[in-house]
């Protein structure tokens, strides 16, 4: 029976002993049978020999992990929770509940709410709502430019001081190179990433899916690969110039992967993330005008899908993130060119990512790394690691749990997933935030 419990966020000293676990810490390479102890909201001990004598601390709650994988809680560093302004699509409460069900303990929220997170008052509201209603940790991005209009920078220093983890205009890329240079310069000074939805609107304007034979067959205007690649190339050069941390959101093309690889080889501080739908599906999923497979960047060709997997395998791509984008059915069940871009993804991220492991394409350690410490490092979060003193944010994963995705049972308020009916393997069976179990399967 599935249960949820919001964290109290109180460090009351309660001890929890996790026994009979397969401990996995992607950063250190630990993968061994063992146990872990939390006290309050922190990890206080773990290892192969812990509790080998069968004795756990007096008064501690004992959780038998059943031999399943106990790992640092997952991070999803690109989600849209729609609050404030579009609560009919998603709220911080419903979105964070979906995150907990997916084994995610920390999310980075995008600023394209209504109003935009472009000043400290909106940021403070979001943080207050998160403290009141969220099941998981919320790390908000703020907008690069006021109103996401690409014209004038926000008060970036004040926003960082107030708790912004970085800056992005998300689906509205910063087209002006001088504005982007200024943002990167400030990002460098403030020690935060500048994240870009890489799309040249002059090349993609009016497109609703990938440019290719599927778009031609359907009679739809396509978005070419080059619209992503030219922005990535420009921004890597600007990041090299400024010394800033530049992050590519939801990378989708072979060309952009090659550019990030080139930038890293040059010593540029560039990171990238990929969404599970981009390494799982191709633009053929849009056949029959399936609007639940419409997203931006769009699903690409098979060569791009394979390049994304290779980017994960060789470390060019740092993180896996969902771009969780809830939409009501009224804006998805319309003609393709009028439908909203985006799908929900928090509850399927882990399973879709584990499919790379089950297919022998990417090792388990690397897949989990991209959703734990590597993702944490992108937003400079104290998360994603099994360490003494680290936050007790954990996920217990049954790597072989067979289940079928059913849109009607997703915990997100919106149900716009293209994976309805997909049989998959691997699932979170317990999610722990600050030492408290917020989800149990």
* CA neighbours closer than 13 Å in the CB half-sphere of residue 107: 32
Task: Dig out the tokens for 264 from the structure.
Answer: 């890293």
Tell me if residue 393 is catalytic. Answer: no
Query: Tokens 């919320």 — which residue?
Result: 138
Query: Tokens 């560093």 — which residue?
Result: 77
Task: Dig out the tokens for 37 from the structure.
Answer: 């102890």
For residue 211, what is the DSSP state? S
Q: Which of 323, 377, 393, 398 is catalytic?
A: 323
* Interaxial angle between packed helices 120-133 and 92-101, expressed in degrees from 0 to 180 and rounded to the nearest 10: 50
CA angle 369, 375, 379 (to 5 degrees): 155
Instruction: Output the DSSP codes for 267-278.
Output: T--EEEEE-HHH
CB 150 within 8 A of CB 156: no
124 phi/psi in degrees, rounded to 5: -65, -40
Which of 120, 228, 270, 242 shows the shortest CA–CA distance to 180?
242
CB 150 within 8 A of CB 196: no
Our measurement of the distance from residue 197's CA atom to the centroid of its chain's CA atoms, rounded to an integer in Å, reads 14
In 163-248, which ranges are continuous DSSP H helix? 177-190, 201-204, 213-218, 225-242
Helix (H) or strand (E) holding 18: strand 15-25
Which of 131, 75, 130, 139 shows the shortest CA–CA distance to 111?
139
Task: Dig out the tokens for 195 from the structure.
Answer: 């994240």
How far is 347 from 149, CA to CA, in rounded Å? 32
In 23-83, which ranges are continuous DSSP H helix? none
How far is 72 from 26, CA to CA, in rounded Å? 9
The number of residues in the chain equals: 441
Active-site positions read 323
């Amino acid at each position: 029976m599935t249960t949820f419990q919001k964290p109290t966020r109180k460090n009351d000293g309660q001890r929890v002993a996790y026994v009979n676990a397969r401990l996995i810490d992607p950063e250190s390479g630990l993968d061994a049978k063992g146990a872990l102890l939390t006290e309050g909201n922190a990890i206080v001990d773990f290892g192969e020999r812990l509790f080998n004598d069968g004795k756990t601390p007096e008064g501690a709650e004992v959780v038998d992990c059943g031999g399943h994988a106990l790992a640092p809680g997952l991070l999803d560093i690109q989600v849209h929770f729609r609050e404030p302004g579009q609560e009919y699509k998603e709220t911080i409460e419903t979105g964070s509940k979906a995150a907990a069900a997916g084994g995610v303990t920390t999310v980075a929220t995008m600023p394209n709410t209504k109003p935009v997170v472009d000043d400290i008052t909106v940021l403070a509201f979001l943080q207050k709502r998160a403290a009141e209603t969220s099941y998981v940790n919320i790390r908000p991005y703020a907008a690069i430019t006021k109103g996401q209009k690409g014209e004038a920078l926000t008060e970036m220093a004040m926003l960082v001081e107030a708790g912004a983890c970085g800056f992005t205009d998300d689906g509205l890329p910063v087209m002006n190179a001088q504005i982007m240079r200024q943002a990167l310069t400030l990002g460098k000074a403030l020690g935060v990433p500048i994240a870009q939805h890489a799309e040249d609107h002059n090349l993609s304007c009016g497109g609703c899916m990938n440019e290719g034979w599927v778009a031609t067959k359907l009679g739809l205007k396509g978005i070419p690969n080059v619209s992503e690649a030219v922005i990535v190339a420009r921004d890597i050069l600007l990041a090299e110039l400024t010394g800033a941390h530049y992050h590519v959101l939801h990378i989708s093309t072979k060309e952009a992967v090659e550019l990030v690889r080139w930038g890293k080889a040059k010593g540029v501080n560039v990171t990238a993330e990929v969404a599970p739908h981009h390494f799982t599906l191709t633009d053929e999923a849009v056949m029959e005008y399936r609007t639940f497979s419409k997203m931006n960047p769009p699903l690409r060709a098979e060569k791009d899908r394979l390049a994304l997997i290779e980017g994960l395998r060789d470390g060019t791509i740092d993180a896996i993130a969902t771009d969780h984008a809830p939409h009501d059915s009224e804006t998805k069940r319309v003609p393709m060119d009028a439908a909203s871009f985006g799908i929900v993804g928090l509850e399927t991220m882990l399973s879709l990512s584990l499919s790379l492991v089950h297919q022998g394409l990417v090792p388990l350690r690397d897949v989990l790394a991209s959703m734990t410490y590597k993702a944490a490092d992108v937003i400079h979060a104290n998360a994603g690691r099994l360490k003494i003193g680290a936050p007790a944010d954990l996920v217990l994963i049954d790597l072989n749990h067979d289940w079928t995705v059913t849109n009607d049972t997703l915990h997100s308020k919106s149900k716009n997933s293209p994976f309805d009916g997909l049989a998959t393997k691997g699932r979170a069976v317990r999610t722990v935030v600050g030492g408290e179990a917020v989800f149990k399967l």
